[in-house]
């Protein structure tokens, strides 16, 4: 995508390369300082970029600068959004993917990078014939607005229980069409 006013490349989404991870980790620390995401903190931001069950990851990039990140993972133990989709549809856990680790740095906000990253991740899941789910913290109102504008389906509420004893309310969603699809098995 080219910016017509000056010929520069606009934000693009591409698969995450190993060389992107240090820049993603630095950006994550910046996002955490601004927004408190992720709520668990960023003691080891690099390790956080490699969640258990990682299937694929992407970055939003503008002229070689990483602006944001998203990933798709296999369902994990205790994932409330996965349990809610199974209860609602009766599908197997093996038919579900989890949108995870989506964040956008402050310089990319308002450029559509978050939507582009979410679209890439949800398209990946759909291409694999997986139904995507995710959760988002109640405090992250702009993310909730983006997902709802995308047509994501609210599944229910949950809470994250942190090591320090605090409880963070969250909303669980399914990707558009994830509930209406016929079973893939």
Rounded to two decimals, the pTM is 0.89
The whole-number average pLDDT for the span 19-40 is: 94
pLDDT band, residue 101 (cuts 50/70/90): very high
CA dist., res. 131 & res. 115, Å (int): 18
Kindly give, in sequence order, each residue whose CB lies less than 8 Å from that of residue 57, ignoring residues fewer than 6 positions away. 15, 16, 49, 69, 70, 71, 72, 101
**At residue 79, what are phi and psi to the nearest 5 degrees?**
-75, 110
The reported pLDDT for the residue numbered 118 is 96
The full set of domain ranges for the chain reads 12-174
The reported pLDDT for the residue numbered 157 is 97
Give the CATH fold of the 12-174 domain.
Aminopeptidase (3.40.630)
pLDDT band, residue 109 (cuts 50/70/90): confident
% the chain with pLDDT above 90: 76
The whole-number average pLDDT for the span 139-161 is: 94
């Amino acid at each position: 995508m080219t910016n017509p006013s000056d010929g520069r490349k606009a934000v693009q989404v591409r698969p995450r390369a190993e060389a992107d991870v240090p820049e993603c980790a630095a950006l994550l620390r910046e996002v955490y300082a601004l927004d408190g995401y992720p709520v668990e903190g960023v003691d080891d931001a690099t390790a956080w970029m490699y969640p258990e069950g990682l299937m694929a990851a992407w970055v939003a990039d503008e002229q070689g600068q990483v602006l944001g990140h998203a990933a798709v993972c296999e369902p994990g133990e205790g994932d409330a959004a996965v349990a809610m989709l199974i209860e609602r549809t009766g599908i197997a856990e093996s038919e579900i993917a989890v949108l995870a680790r989506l964040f956008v740095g402050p310089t990319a906000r308002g450029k559509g990078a978050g939507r582009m990253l979410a679209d890439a991740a949800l398209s990946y899941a759909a291409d694999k014939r997986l139904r995507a789910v995710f959760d988002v913290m109640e405090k992250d109102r702009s993310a909730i607005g983006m997902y709802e504008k995308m047509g994501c389906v609210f599944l229910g509420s949950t809470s994250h229980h942190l090591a320090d004893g605090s409880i963070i309310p969250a909303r669980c969603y399914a990707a558009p069409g994830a509930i209406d699809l016929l079973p893939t098995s």
